[in-house]
Amino acid sequence: MAETSAILSWTLVEEIPIPSDVTDLLVDGEKAVAAYKTFRDSAVFTTRRLIVRDAQGLRGKKVEIYSLPYSAINMWSSENAAGMLDFNAELELWTRAGHIKVNLHKGVDVRRLDKLIAEAVLGASGR
């Protein structure tokens, strides 16, 4: 589990247009659905997986890409911001890779992400 500890927490800052270079990562039939700015790069939700791009180094020229297929998600939970003093929502994913926590800044629609994951995880296996 030590090798995945760096990827067990991500923060989505705001929704952004889908980066044009993400199409090079997609397989036949896969479509990008939503993209979010992270602190240094972006996270893209597709019809099959979550792709997180993590720029590294001082200039951010080295990019590491994490790919979490929805089929690896065993369970998830979502928590919306409660009120005026609670600005962040969160999404937690229990996967074969471990427990992943996704923090969502104010303005990121946690219910939209919850539905997107439900449709991806339950849509394919629930048919």
- The domain ranges of the chain are 2-125
Q: In the prediction, which pLDDT does 57 show? A: 66
Best CATH choice for the domain 2-125 from the list 3.40.470.10, 2.30.29.50, 3.40.80.10, 1.10.10.10: 2.30.29.50
More confident residue, 85 or 114: 114
| Distance in angstroms (rounded) separating the CA atoms of residues 65 and 53 | 5
Exposed / middle / buried, residue 5 (Cβ in 10 Å: 0-12, 13-18, 19+): exposed
> Does 101 have pLDDT greater than 70?
yes
pTM: 0.82
